[in-house]
Amino acid sequence: MKTIDDLQVAGKRVFVRADLNVPLDGTTITDDGRIRAVAPTIAKLAARGAKVIVASHLGRPKGAPDPAFSLAPAAARLGEILGQDVAFATDTVGDSARSVVADLRDGQVAVVENLRFNAGETSKDDAERGAFADRLAELADLYVGDGFGAVHRKHASVYDLPARLPHAAGDLIATEVGVLKRLTEDVKRPYVVVLGGAKVSDKLAVIDELLGKADRLLIGGGMAYTFLKAKGYEVGISLLQEDQVPAVTEYLERAEKNGVELVLPVDILASRDFPDLKTKAPADFVTVDADKIPADMEGLDIGPKTRELFASKIADAGTVFWNGPVGVAEHPDYAGGTTAVAQALLDSPGFTVVGGGDSAAAVRALGFDENAFGHISTGGGASLEYLEGKTLPGLAALED
């Protein structure tokens, strides 16, 4: 896989497929981590005299323009981070994009509008996707893939476009792949994986793979209640995927057979009411043993005993991978578990990786120093699929 150091970019139009898919509250960016992560690649190309055209998706528009998903706020923030003006095209491959690109001078940067405003970007039809990739290719001379959060998608700008232009991986993708290889090919043990988030179904494949590779699996978040149910515990009105109980039961049995320590919560913060995430009003909850959740309550965070237990299982790790908050971390009363996991990673002497998505956002929202972790990924889904052993279309497309 070539990198941008292998490309002659001076005076060339360089199309950078970035991941500017940032969370928005109206037009206000609430977490700019993904923009900051790709900015060094863009700055490096501009400093070498490239005319940089940045493209990304944001959210899930239905293949047509939708002002709620405009990349304009991300383009403005990118300009602030780069310390230079960034032009913005109000379409992706139309008159505005062509005009903005034509006006670029060496070292200048432009962002085109949301790729998913075009149905061809995400189409499952190869011809429709290819036709959109052809129009994107007309804008540029070279292609740089640096949107790691999208490399698991077979989309036009990720998979089809690199075949139409000389291409290379950006520095962010090169770093992400290097980290993932350390998690799969050169693992220092004990290897501890912490999995949280809402749905166990989102993590089944990676759990299946890790049961043969990890030394310890720590399970929290909404997905933990399906595991607790599989052990025969009452989980009240907690988030539960009843249809996944048989698979989870098999995983519990396989973990024991393989000598993998599968660690579940031993106590829970439970409440009759889901917290107000807008006002952050104080929540009414009780702390209960994990096998004694009242029938009319739902679990919303791991309890103090579990926080200590998880920290003890991380303390001697040689490698830690963490994906997914272990509670409703957006609310201060239920952020304690996620805070404890983040602190345990910081205290660990091993190589620590925060696996993107909500866990990465939580680390920043809770005020932790990002640089204190071994790596914070920009792509939760992409990281998980890589660990599952899948071929990621966006990485395959960048191979020579």
* Contact (CB, 8 A) for 384 and 203: yes
In terms of Cβ atoms closer than 10 Å to its own Cβ (0-12, 13-18, 19+), residue 66 is middle
Integer-rounded Cα Rg, in Å, for the chain is: 22
Question: Binding residue per annotation — 359?
Answer: yes
Torsion angles phi and psi, residue 214, rounded to 5: -80, 155
Question: Binding residue per annotation — 323?
Answer: no
* Contact (CB, 8 A) for 39 and 370: no
Return d(Cα 308, Cα 70) in angstroms, integer. 43
Torsion angles phi and psi, residue 194, rounded to 5: -110, 120
Question: Binding residue per annotation — 57?
Answer: yes
Q: Are strands 319-323 and 351-354 parallel, antiparallel or unpaired?
A: parallel
Question: Binding residue per annotation — 387?
Answer: no
Return d(Cα 380, Cα 362) in angstroms, integer. 13
* Contact (CB, 8 A) for 147 and 124: no
Question: Binding residue per annotation — 104?
Answer: no
Question: Binding residue per annotation — 197?
Answer: no
- Residues designated as active site: 34, 199, 357, 381
* Contact (CB, 8 A) for 355 and 322: yes
DSSP track, 279-302 = T-PPP--EEEETT---TT-EEEEE
Question: Binding residue per annotation — 116?
Answer: yes
Question: Binding residue per annotation — 299?
Answer: yes
The two three-digit tokens of residue 201, written as one number: 């179904």
Alpha carbons within 13 A on the beta-carbon side of 54: 33
Alpha carbons within 13 A on the beta-carbon side of 189: 7
Burial per residue of 260-272, b for 16 or more beta-carbon CB atoms within 10 angstroms, e otherwise: bebbbbbbbbbbe
Question: Binding residue per annotation — 231?
Answer: no
**How far lies 341's CA from each of 220, 313, 348, in Å?**
10, 10, 11
**Cβ neighbour number for residue 18 with a 10 Å cutoff:** 32
Question: Binding residue per annotation — 203?
Answer: yes
Helices 171-184 and 380-387: crossing angle, nearest 10°?
40
Q: Name the β-bridge partners of 12.
A: none
Question: Binding residue per annotation — 153?
Answer: yes
| Binding-site annotation: residue ranges for ATP | 203, 299, 330, 356-359
| Binding-site annotation: residue ranges for (2R)-3-phosphoglycerate | 34, 116, 153
| Binding-site annotation: residue ranges for substrate | 19-21, 34, 57-60, 116, 153
| Binding-site annotation: residue ranges | 19-21, 34, 57-60, 116, 153, 203, 299, 330, 356-359
